[in-house]
Structure 1
Amino acid sequence: MTNLAPRQGLMVRGATTADVDAIGRVAEAAGQRGEWTGVDPAYVGHLLRYGRIAVVIAGGRIVGFGATRGIPGRDGVTSMLCDLFVHPSHHGRGCGRALLAELWPEQNSPRMTFSSQHPHALPLYTSAGLGGWWPLLYLTGHTVSTPARWTVESSTPEAVSTLEAAWTGIDRRTDHRAWARRPNGMAIVANLDGRPCAAGTAAGEGDGFGLVHLAGDPRLHDAQAADSVLAVLAALETAGGNARVCLPAPHPAVRPLLAAGWRVTSMDLFMATHAMLLDPHRAVPSPALA
């Protein structure tokens, strides 16, 4: 437990399973809704088990929380800030800064997050050593046609994770298992001329259903990287005919999706200590877990 300056009247500590309901109340007050957000015990439980959650306490109650998840790769571990939310009644009181100091005590390690457009967010993350690099676009639209030479098949989290690890050096097995357990969760492999070239997971409820995370063979060129996304989106069966995906603005799949009538419904800003912690021309990340 870390005691902060008395004038702030704040205390920060690690979260436990007993804090899940209080975390959900803060998330809801901050505008979070639905499945796989801070109001979802399954999401919070995943972060408690495989990441780290800290809570900030004022007046004897939890008024904010933040969460990180380490992403191990060939170049070391990147700390992903998955969430940071403060109850609106305590904005501007140093809660966010206190949470970051607890979650990111090391200032020389690789760190990244997707910053919302809240006016407090960018200054806070900049003060923690992060730069803003590109927007992450939340795209939604009707499913598209399957590109020539591509086929898509259902798979397993284990198979998808094995492919991703071979291509990127990152083991996302626990995340793919968690994503596949979400409503309508399914592991997917996209094949180009019969060869696996992209693998990921789709999940979500209602309008939130779509491609959660996709990794690709690094040998794909731009047009093939775009087609891998289009092929997976074409294979998704949705009740209303719409699907969702989050893409970096420079990703080669953005132009064909916009040309097909897909809409940008929201955007975040990718912030990181190094620009290439995520490749914007290839990454198809989960905003929560990248």
Structure 2
Amino acid sequence: MEIRAVDSGHLSGIRAITHATGQSDEDSGADPAYVEVIRAQGHAKVAVSGGTVLGWAGALPTPLGTLLTDLFVDPAVHARGVGAALLRALPPLEFTFSSKHPSALPLYARAGMVPSWPLLYLSGPVSRLPRGVLRVDRVDATTAASTEAALSPVGGADPNAVSGAVVGRGAGAGMGSGVAADLGAGAGLGPGRDGGGRAAVYRHWMRAGRAFVVRDGERVTAVGAGRPGVPGVLAHLTCSDPRSAAGALYAAVAALDSDHVALCLPGPHPALRTLLAAGFRVDDFDLSMQAPTIELPPTWSYAPGLA
């Protein structure tokens, strides 16, 4: 068995493992664009033997630390050390979202990550959620990444300095002119944190959707991305202030202009009880695993593979 960097010749094998392990086709190894984001902005590895892909894994820098995006092994070769070999080929990891597979949690714990809260896969109707008065403005990927850096716990810059590249007013507004942002991409990120590469992640989320900031008056409270549809999907929302987290979430969901929305929320998120009372259901869950050196905000909406 050899561990190699992912290239285009491995994509069909990665796709086959994705399907064999019961994952969807979106934001998974079945999506070449998703794999390319991880390969280009982080690390993507495959385990191969005789030209056959046995498993694959990815790691991606994020504003919170290095994320283990994926670790999937062909079920036919489970318990043969493939997953452990892939982990050893990646840089030091700081968090991941573990599936409920019995081998996953022990493997990640041995890598130095401990379990925390569940990441709940939720879906439900939007009509019964509070509307509030927060404003949602569309932005470009670079502005979204800069704002996220400032709103993250390791940030430190002022997110309200990000006044540039706003795309109109309101979630449905058209392209408008912007003022040069005072906060550049990646400003305020600590050592080892992702800077400009985060804009590539936002561009991935924006392929069929939009990036946006949520404002309380003129104060930026959150930044995220999502796509309309049936259902709509809130791919990600950064909001580290517990006082603003619920209102920002309701505003972001409403701005998707979809009757039914899917999203992933930490179990302790301030909006969870309201979502459940409004008819949302828990479709599945993963388990947050994190190194002792970091603390994942329970006020974000996470994309399991890109955070």
The interval holding the TM-score normalised by the smaller chain is 0.7 to 0.9
What is the RMSD computed on CA atoms of the aligned residues?
A: 1.9
Range 271-280 or range 132-141, more displaced: 271-280
**One of 164, 189, 199 as aligned partner of 1:173:** 199
Q: 2:119 aligns with which of 128, 136, 144?
A: 136
Q: Deviations over 1:124-162 (max 9, x none)?
A: 111111110110001100114453321223332222222
Q: Could you say which residue in structure 1 is the equivalent of 2:295? A: 277
**One-letter code aligned to 2:237:** L
Q: Which residue of 2 aligns with 1:21?
A: 12
CA distance in 2 between partners of 1:42 and 1:148 (Å): 36
User: C-alpha separation between the residues in 1 aligned to 2:293 and 2:254?
Assistant: 31
| 2:219 corresponds to which of 195, 205, 208 | 195
The secondary structure found in structure 1 opposite 2:100 is coil
Show the counterpart of 2:235.
212
Q: 1:275 to 1:251 in 2, by over 3 A?
A: farther
Question: 1:232 is aligned with what amino acid?
Answer: A
Corresponding residue SS for 1:64:
strand
User: Greater CA deviation, 227-236 or 169-178?
Assistant: 169-178
Gaps of 5+ in 1: 1-9
For 2:305 and 2:261, locate their aligned partners in 1 and report how far apart those are by CA, in whole Å.
Answer: 18
Aligned to 1:85: 72
Deviation at 1:65, TM superposition (A): 0.4
Contact 1:146 1:234 in 2 (8 A): no
Task: Give the letter aligned to residue 81 of structure 1.
Answer: L
**TM-score normalised according to structure 2 size:** 0.80
* CA contact 1:146–1:235 (8 Å) conserved in 2: no
State how 1:4-15 maps to structure 2 within 5 Å.
10-15=1-6
| Aligned residues of 2:211 and 2:225 also touching (Cα < 8 A) | yes
Query: What is residue 62 of structure 1 aligned with on the other side?
Result: 53
Q: Does residue 210 of structure 2 align to residue 227 of structure 1? A: no
Q: Secondary structure at the match of 2:79?
A: coil
What is the identity, as a one-letter code, of the residue corresponding to 1:101?
A: R
Q: Displacement, 1:177? A: 1.4
List per-residue Cα deviations over 1:251-282 (Å, max 9, x = no partner).
Answer: 101111111110010100000112743111x2
1:3 is matched with which residue?
none
Q: Does the CA-based 8 Å contact 1:143-1:236 persist in structure 2?
A: no
Identity %: 38
TM-score norm. by structure 1 comes to: 0.85
| 2:242–2:270 contact (8 Å) kept in structure 1 | no
> Hey, what's the Cα distance between the residues in 2 that align with 1:277 and 1:55?
29
- Equivalent position SS for 1:243: strand
For each residue in 1:207-262, what CA deviation from the matched residue of structure 2 results, as whole angstroms up to 9, or x when unmatched?
4x31111112x4x443x211110111122122xx2101111101101111111110
User: Which residue number in structure 1 is paired with residue 171 of structure 2?
Assistant: none
Quote how far apart the aligned CAs of 1:11 are: 1.9
Sort the Cα spacing of 1:91 and 1:249 in 2 relative to 1 into closer, same or farther, 3 A.
same
Q: Between 15-24 and 145-154, report the one with greater CA deviation.
A: 145-154
Alignment partner of 1:162 out of 140, 146, 150: 146
Aligned with 2:89: secondary structure?
helix
Matched, 1:236 2:256: yes
Query: Which residue in 2 is equivalent to 1:31?
Result: 22
Check conservation: 1:35, 1:205, Cα contact below 8 A. Answer: no
Gaps of 5+ in 2: 156-188, 190-194
Preserved contact between residue 160 and residue 189 of structure 1 (Cα < 8 Å):
yes
1:205 Cα offset (Å): 6.1
Contact residue 68 and residue 93 of structure 2 kept, 8 A: no
Deviation at 1:194, TM superposition (A): 4.0
Alpha-carbon shift at residue 59 of structure 1 (Å): 4.0
